[in-house]
Structure 1
Amino acid sequence: MLETETESTLRQPSFTKFWVSRTLSSTSFQMLSVAIGWQMYVLTHDAYSLGLVGLAQFLPMMLLTLVVGQVADRFDRRKIVFLCQIIESGIAALLLVGNLAGWLGRNEILVAAAILGACRAFEGPSSSSLLPMLVPKELMQKAIAWTTSTGQTSQIIGPTLGGVLIAAGPVFVYVTAAVALFVAGILTFLIRMERIVRKPEPLTARSIFSGLVFVRRNPVILGTISLDLFAVLLGGATALLPIFAEDILHTGPLGLGVMRTAPAVGALLMSIALVYFPLKKALGPILFGALGVFGLATMLFAVSTNLIISLVALLLIGGSDVISVVIRSSLVQLQTPDEMRGRVNAVNSLFIGTSNQLGEFESGTLAGMIGPVQAAFVGGIGTVVVAGLWMFLFPSLRRLRSLSNE
């Protein structure tokens, strides 16, 4: 009976609109990222310009962290997400026009990438903060597992679909993304929920930094998101996949594509499993156990010279990482007051973005110094060491039994 009620709640119209909108938005962003990167390289044949595209998307998130949190806590989060998706749709349309008219160049692509990055900076925390207003507290973990599966599905479908459409012509990518983002915005606008009147505190230095202060004073949340930050930072073996595909496994572009998909497939499967079998007890030990698997799988991938074994390791990396994501996201949503969710989710988003971006930088730099196999193996060891260290630095996290009680 409980499972029936759960599935019925997750199928309610508001959550369904939210889920479909988020799926369309995430998939479109992945498609646009592939298309923009490809076009930049075709136009410039310059690796530095290609790197600037990623930087243009990341910098707005880093620079706007404190601003987006304030906005999400002071204004209607549904309208913020709607506006971001409509602007993103407009950027895709402009890229389409630029291609057809022939004026799209390096600078225009960088501006488009920066605007998309800024929109995602606002959309992410606002969308995450919107979720607790759509489902009851006791179903939050299942809802987060569903939305996490959305992100992983988008990482699988988005780049693949983007690549197929690029082969037909960049305009097809931009048309598809523009339409999908517009539909996502309309669905978000149509979400209906009980109106919550918030009385935000005056805009002061204290209120601006209150998200950081809240995280710092909550050892469970601080321990969880910092653990994820350093674990992913050190265990970023996926950034080295092109080297492993070409020089170690000798699989070529096809093998690289399969390996890039494997972590997302593992994450998607684990997300679906957590929907039907949510984590209820011993969350702390489960979290640290998952990070241990993440580190060991990274080490296995590092020493593997067989594609099948490497794919299994990558599946384990993606699946174990999702456990941390679901626990962290659930804790942030359930242990943060509604009037502060925007600011806290903005800090959480910064931690996630930093771990992914700096993790790739760390892995690439270390691989250049000591070699890719050694770098990946050392990263896996580092993840295990960090997990063990955090068990002693954050005993409340180690003893965590449920999402509501420490």
Structure 2
Amino acid sequence: MAESGNSSRAGRVAFTHPDFALYELARFFIVAALEMQSVAIGWQVYEITKRPLDLGLVGLAQFLPGIILFLVSGHAADRFDRRNLLITCYAGFSVCSGLLLSAYLRGMHAVYPIYIVVVLIGVVRSFNGPVSRALLPQLVSEEHFPNAVAWNSSVNQSATILGPAIGGLVYALSKGPSAVYTISMVSAVGAIVSTLQIKSQAKPRPREQLSLKTVLAGLHYIRKQKIILGSISLDLFAVLLGGAVALLPVYAREILRTGPWGLGLLRSAPGIGAGGMAILLAHRPLRSRVGATMLWCVAGFGVFTILFGISRSLVLSMLALLFVGATDMVSVIIRGTLVQVATPDEMRGRVNAVDMIFVGASNEVGQFESGLTAQWFGTVPAVVLGGIGTLVVTALWAWSFPELRRVNQLTFPDN
């Protein structure tokens, strides 16, 4: 019993750092807010236009600002106080929720006001991503960092589970998006309050002058680190091709024939699988063959995407999405730990900004790709072809990046 208790405490060791606990509370609030809001935006847009392509355009509108601003946002994360930048980002998310609420209450039911706000959300996200990820290693000791990464992923996925479910339920009960946008706005304020209490003891960082060389340093660093390049590019192309989340409103409405509540359940299913896997890895961390494990899990992601694509049952679809989330989470934790432990603190903002572009491309551009292929070939063929593409990419990366395949453990260089 004592050994069991010690093991349980060891699995939660990151939470012995108070700043980490506050960071995760804020993270839960903001991710839940954005996920609730995403369900409302997707359903609202599809009700207005009835076109899958417009769901893809929502993802593209969020991603394009990141492409334009990622070099600036990464440099800002390395130059300025990361906690204060994070608070500013959370305030920006709250304002965007307020704008969506205002547009709906004023009777502006056209699509273009939604797209304008989605672009603004993309601008805020371009700073939020690298800043929040670069701040995380400052909040825990090095030996507790892998545990912090696993719990950070678990908290994110818990919010991803609850956010869409609450968003879909609230949308259905209130017969519109106004209540969802209100809750999202208040949740962002909660994230601000929590982050204000963080007392991070950041190590002094050199104030590099803004120049093309310093701005591009993250790109150059990743290009030289083949293991990092292989892991984040694998995630980019696998999820870019295999992402089916953008088409969930179509599946919920036309294929599975459920309402907003069904959409909320479908959106939550990947988060349930991912959250469960993250908790499992927090208590039973990967100790060997992490590179090969990552490749096998990405292949599994493709297989379960295909299964979801051909399913006509809500239960089977949710099970497939649950395993999609679980296999993806293994890749997320391995990649996230590799990037952080292999990067000096003074460059983490820039390197994470580049990594976030890869993540954003796989998610937001993946949404656009899914919407476009669904418009051309139909919804089911688009998802199935995407899953097949993921399997092909995994095989190519296993051959092209042998260094990634041979990675055995996730440790800091000094270890």
**Normalization by structure 1: what TM-score?**
0.88
Query: 2: distance between equivalents of 1:54 and 1:244?
Result: 17
1:81 has 2:90 as partner? no
1:68 has 2:73 as partner? yes
Instruction: Give the secondary-structure state (helix, strand or coil) at the position aligned to 2:65.
Output: helix
1:283 has 2:290 as partner? yes
| C-alpha distance after superposition, 1:162-218 (max 9, x if no partner) | 334344364433432232212211211210121321113322211111111111110
Letter of the aligned partner of 1:388 in structure 2?
A
1:55–1:247 CA distance, 2 compared to 1 (3 A):
closer
Segments of 5+ residues of structure 2 without an aligned counterpart are 1-5
Instruction: Give the secondary-structure state (helix, strand or coil) at the position aligned to 1:191.
Output: coil
Instruction: Give the secondary-structure state (helix, strand or coil) at the position aligned to 1:126.
Output: helix
Q: 2:147 aligns with which of 118, 142, 149?
A: 142
1:365–1:181 CA distance, 2 compared to 1 (3 A):
closer
1:154 has 2:185 as partner? no
Query: 2: distance between equivalents of 1:103 and 1:303?
Result: 37
Say if 2:169 and 2:264, in contact at 8 Å, map to a contact too.
no
Aligned-residue Cα RMSD (Å) equals 2.9
Task: Select between 224-233 and 263-272 the one with higher mean Cα deviation.
Answer: 263-272
Query: 1: distance between equivalents of 2:207 and 2:270?
Result: 40
TM alignment of 1:253-332, pairs within 5 A? 253=259, 255-332=262-339
1:311–1:205 CA distance, 2 compared to 1 (3 A):
same
Deviation at 1:30, TM superposition (A): 2.1
Instruction: Give the secondary-structure state (helix, strand or coil) at the position aligned to 2:12.
Output: helix
Residue 205 of structure 2 is matched in structure 1 by 198
Q: 1:335 aligns with which of 342, 346, 351?
A: 342
Residue 192 of structure 2 is matched in structure 1 by 185
Say if 1:125 and 1:349, in contact at 8 Å, map to a contact too.
yes
Query: 2: distance between equivalents of 1:293 and 1:89?
Result: 37
Q: 2:20 aligns with which of 8, 15, 21?
A: 15
Say if 2:55 and 2:247, in contact at 8 Å, map to a contact too.
no
Say if 1:95 and 1:104, in contact at 8 Å, map to a contact too.
no
Instruction: Give the secondary-structure state (helix, strand or coil) at the position aligned to 1:252.
Output: coil
| C-alpha distance after superposition, 1:267-310 (max 9, x if no partner) | 11111111111112110111111112112222333444554443
1:38–1:275 CA distance, 2 compared to 1 (3 A):
same
Deviation at 1:49, TM superposition (A): 6.8
Instruction: Give the secondary-structure state (helix, strand or coil) at the position aligned to 2:202.
Output: coil
Letter of the aligned partner of 1:80 in structure 2?
L
Q: 2:119 aligns with which of 114, 117, 121?
A: 114
Say if 1:220 and 1:394, in contact at 8 Å, map to a contact too.
yes
| C-alpha distance after superposition, 1:147-170 (max 9, x if no partner) | 212222222222332334344364
Query: 2: distance between equivalents of 1:328 and 1:159?
Result: 25
Aligned residues: 404
Q: Which has the higher contact order (CA 8 A, sep 6+)?
A: 2
Query: 2: distance between equivalents of 1:301 and 1:102?
Result: 37
Query: 2: distance between equivalents of 1:30 and 1:242?
Result: 14
1:24 has 2:60 as partner? no
1:49–1:326 CA distance, 2 compared to 1 (3 A):
closer
Residue 384 of structure 1 is matched in structure 2 by 391
Letter of the aligned partner of 2:161 in structure 1?
I
Residue 95 of structure 2 is matched in structure 1 by 90
| C-alpha distance after superposition, 1:214-258 (max 9, x if no partner) | 11110010000001111112222444445555666x443365543
Deviation at 1:90, TM superposition (A): 3.2
Task: Select between 195-204 and 321-330 the one with higher mean Cα deviation.
Answer: 195-204
Residue 348 of structure 1 is matched in structure 2 by 355
Task: Select between 370-379 and 258-267 the one with higher mean Cα deviation.
Answer: 370-379
Task: Select between 96-105 and 17-26 the one with higher mean Cα deviation.
Answer: 96-105
Say if 2:101 and 2:181, in contact at 8 Å, map to a contact too.
yes
**Normalization by structure 2: what TM-score?**
0.87
Query: 2: distance between equivalents of 1:361 and 1:94?
Result: 24
Deviation at 1:319, TM superposition (A): 0.4
Letter of the aligned partner of 1:320 in structure 2?
T
Letter of the aligned partner of 2:258 in structure 1?
G
Query: 1: distance between equivalents of 2:54 and 2:241?
Result: 26
TM alignment of 1:47-62, pairs within 5 A? 47=51, 53-62=58-67
1:361 has 2:344 as partner? no
Query: 2: distance between equivalents of 1:99 and 1:237?
Result: 27
Query: 1: distance between equivalents of 2:105 and 2:375?
Result: 41
Deviation at 1:129, TM superposition (A): 0.6
1:177–1:364 CA distance, 2 compared to 1 (3 A):
closer
Letter of the aligned partner of 1:82 in structure 2?
I
Say if 1:30 and 1:159, in contact at 8 Å, map to a contact too.
yes
Say if 2:227 and 2:404, in contact at 8 Å, map to a contact too.
yes
Say if 1:125 and 1:342, in contact at 8 Å, map to a contact too.
yes
Deviation at 1:385, TM superposition (A): 2.3
| C-alpha distance after superposition, 1:108-139 (max 9, x if no partner) | 54443322221121111100111001112222
Query: 2: distance between equivalents of 1:98 and 1:235?
Result: 33
Say if 2:76 and 2:349, in contact at 8 Å, map to a contact too.
yes
Deviation at 1:63, TM superposition (A): 1.2
